[in-house]
Amino acid sequence: MQHPRLFLIHGWGGSPQKDWMPWAKKAWEEKGFDVYLPPMPDTDMPKIDAWVGYLTTLVGELRPSDVFVGHSIGCQTILRYLEKQQGKVDKVVLVAPWFTLTNLENAAAWTIADPWLKSTMNFAQIIPKANTFVTIFSDNDPWVPYGENKTLFEQKLHPKIVTLHAKGHMTDEEGVSELPELLLEL
């Protein structure tokens, strides 16, 4: 019997070695998953086509037992990928996902974020692609306005919403190198 596959997609400026990614990979491997944690292309200048194309190649054919976990821009990558696929996966968990951003450090950062913020997704095509969607927000994320994004995800995706207290953007910088709440969602 095949092990279920888990695809773990890091965020903008992230890597397989940063934040809670190494911890999550190890935790899920211990639970019997085949975990794929790729370094996403050009992580400091993420582009929709490059990231979605890379994920498409990595996954190959979707399996009903597949699980996708994304962080930040990795969440958008997963949603945009699923929008174009045939078939259905078991679960999608989105950590610090966003449709709106705030406090980006400069004009160059806004230029990178702009296509991700402005190009639309067809949620009527995305919703049927997973048995379950879960979002995990922090109530004090400096870049992802909590109330606004929570409401937008509720309206567009109808996920289970998990809210953590004072975890920021859930990165090493905020001291988040483990995210045990993720294990509860699988």
How far is the CA of 5 from the CAs of 12, 42, 59, 95, 102, in angstroms? 23, 24, 9, 18, 34
185 band by pLDDT with thresholds 50, 70 and 90: confident
Let me know: does 55 contact 7? Beta carbons within 8 Å: yes
Q: What is the predicted pLDDT for the residue at 38? A: 97
Q: What is the predicted pLDDT for the residue at 119? A: 96
Q: Which residue has the higher pLDDT, 67 or 184?
A: 67
Residue 130 pLDDT > 80: yes
Question: Taken in order 116, 118, 122, 128, is the CA torsion positive or negative?
Answer: positive
Q: What is the predicted pLDDT for the residue at 73? A: 98
In angstroms, the CA 145 to CA 71 distance is 15
| CATH class given for the domain over 1-9+23-98+131-141+148-159+168-186 | alpha beta
Residue 1 pLDDT > 80: no
The strand pairing partners of 36, in sequence order, are: 7
Domain boundaries, the chain: 1-9+23-98+131-141+148-159+168-186
| Burial letters 3-38, b for 16+ CB under 10 A, else e | ebbbbbbbbbebeeebbbbbebbebbeeeebebbbe
pLDDT tens per residue across span 159-177? 999 999 999 999 999 999 9
Let me know: does 36 contact 7? Beta carbons within 8 Å: yes
pLDDT > 90 in the chain, percent: 96
Q: For strands 34-36 and 5-9, give the pairing.
A: parallel
Give all strands (DSSP E) within the chain, no chain letters.
Answer: 5-9, 34-36, 67-71, 89-95, 130-138, 160-164
In angstroms, the CA 150 to CA 97 distance is 9
In angstroms, the CA 147 to CA 81 distance is 25
186 band by pLDDT with thresholds 50, 70 and 90: confident
As a whole number, mean pLDDT of residues 136-140 equals: 97
